[in-house]
Chain A
Amino acid sequence: MATERIKSEITGTVWKILLAEGDAIQVESELMILESMKMEIPVESTVSGRIQTILVAPGDAVDEDQDLAIIELD
């Protein structure tokens, strides 16, 4: 099964995870919310598929380009 990794575009903190492992997800669907410099920044999926693994938890600090989740492609 082909997979795609969803990455963070920005350094910040995971504020809220909106979906769970196993959930279906569409392109541009919001997966989680990061907080960075007081901004609530949505992380959107770049692909459609099913969430295989979420690699972070609320409160985790994340770096720019860090993997946040793995999506199994449709």
Chain B
Amino acid sequence: MKAAVLREQNKPMEIEEVQISKPGPREVLVRPIAAGVCHSDLHFLDGSYPYMLPTILGHESAGVVEEVGKDVTYVKKGDHVITCLSAFCGHCNKCLTGHLSLCQSPEVSRAPEVESRLSIGGETVHQFLNLSSFAELMLIHEHALVKVREDMPMDRAALIGCSTTTGVGAVFHTAGVEPGSIVAVIGCGGVGLAAINGAAIAGASMVIAVDMVDSKLELAKAVGATHTINARSGNAVGEVLELTKGGCDYTFEAIGLKATAEQAFQMLCSGGTATIIGMIPVGTMVELHGVDFLMEKKIQGSNMGSNRFRIDMPRFVDFYLSGKLHLDQMISKHIKLADVNTALHALKSGEEARHVIMFDQ
């Protein structure tokens, strides 16, 4: 099969012929139909998050089951599925207490002494987040996918595989936004827009979108923002505090920067909660004013929207098909696998929402 292989950080990926192993007992071979190109892929491409190389990036996809391992009963050949990097073992402390997205069990990947799922001429290709979706085939653990209804368009379904689940999940699960709340979201990329959409679905009375790109702020309005602030003014915190007359109940940071994480905390009213969704580079420290804790302000992280994706994703599909979840506007372009480097470059510029790779059928 062909895949986009990353051999060196900050260098373009090359389309190479890659060998894929046969499904093990609990593995599923998936033929992706669509794969989103996500900003998180960029973090690994530019090295702000280290990863073993060579690897095949991509972690947001939807496709069709091609073959299943002998112990797999959940899906069969032909089923439509969304993949998810939050593969869960189902029996560790995190899974059994309902925190499946925090499962750290290594059993959803192959052990180091076993043949790797992906290779090139005998050289191991490290599977990215147990998925690697910039490829014509994916071999994944059965707990890394969910069945979805077949009337769901695959390109929209792919987005649910990461950005939607991360943004909407942060609002629903991590923060638990109540109807009537005042919400601000910093960063209007795919995840931030999903958080804005989620806050609107949750019934927030005010949803403030903060970004530095006007076209993204327009998109934010289309998916549920009631107010927008262009942070180029240099005083986004002040503007939010003025607009809200004292701060937000909930803020969400969807960029991954120290400065914006600190701003998310500064935008809170007393008792408010800041949720950091963005991937802040390894080694970066975040500074807060200690006295603010006397006002019961809280700050927390969110990983993949604290998802229970086998429950969440089919619901998000229903939300889309019933008009509540706005995914059409999230896709700026459909591309071929060979154009993946261009798509990542466009993400870096911050001007576009999301490119989705469509695989040949």
Interface residues of A (CB under 8 A from B): 9-10, 12-13, 15-16, 30, 33, 35-42, 44, 58
Contacts and interface: CB of A to CB of B under 8 A. Distances in A.
A39 B109 CA distance: 11
A39 B51 contact: yes
B106 A42 contact: no
A29 to B, nearest CB: 13
B104 A40 contact: no
A15 B106 contact: yes
B129 A42 contact: no
Contact of A40 (B51, B85, B86): B51
Contact of B282 (A10, A16, A40, A44): A10
Given A9-B283, A33-B52, A38 B112 contact: no
B67 to A, nearest CB: 23
Given A9-B283, A16-B112, A38 B50 contact: no
Contacts of A41: 49-52
B303 interface: yes
B51 A13 contact: no
Interface string B151-179: 00000000000000000000000000000
Contacts of A36: 104
Contacts of A15: 106, 112
Interface in B185-225: none
Contacts of B85: 38
5 contacts: A15-B112, A35-B106, A37-B303, A38-B85, A39-B129
Given A10-B282, A16-B112, A58-B112, A40 B106 contact: no
B82 to A, nearest CB: 16
B254 interface: no
Contact of A39 (B49, B102, B108): B49
B87 interface: yes
Given A38-B85, A40-B51, A58-B112, A13 B106 contact: yes
B140 to A, nearest CB: 11
B126 interface: yes
B130 to A, nearest CB: 6
Secondary structure of the B contact surface, majority rule: loop
A58 B109 CA distance: 15
A12 B52 CA distance: 15
Given A10-B282, A58-B112, A38 B51 contact: no
B104 A9 contact: no
A9 B108 CA distance: 23
Nearest to B85: A38
Interface string B82-103: 0001110000000000000010
A22 B50 CA distance: 26
Interface string B72-87: 0000000000000111
Contacts of B109: 35, 38
A31 B290 CA distance: 39
Contacts of B283: 9
Contact of B50 (A13, A35, A42): A42
A42 B282 contact: no
A38 B282 contact: no
Nearest to B86: A38
Contacts of B87: 38
B52 A38 contact: no
A19 B50 CA distance: 19
Across chains A and B, which 9 residue pairs bring their CB atoms closest together, nearest first?
A16-B112, A40-B52, A38-B129, A42-B52, A9-B282, A40-B126, A41-B50, A38-B130, A42-B50
B104 A37 contact: yes
A13 B103 CA distance: 12
Contacts of B108: 38
Contacts of A12: 104
